[in-house]
Amino acid sequence: MKVTFEQLKAAFNRVLISRGVDSETADACAEMFARTTES
C-alpha cells in the first residue's frame, strides 16, 4: 500500500493534536516524522 507524504503528515499531525500537542509543534513534528518515514 502506497501512502503519500501529505497523507502521512496529516495522519501524524492529527494524532499529535489529539494528544494535546500545540498545532505549530504538531505540524513541525509531523513533517519531520513523515520525512523520516518516507526514506
pLDDT digits (tens, 9 = 90+) for 1-39: 889 999 999 999 999 999 999 999 999 999 999 999 876
Is the CATH number of domain 5-38 1.10.1530.10?
Answer: yes
- For the chain, which residues make up each domain, given as ranges? 5-38
d(CA 11, CA 19): 13
CB 32 within 8 A of CB 21: no
Question: CB-based contacts of 37: which residues, under 8 Å, 6+ apart?
Answer: 8
pTM of the model: 0.85
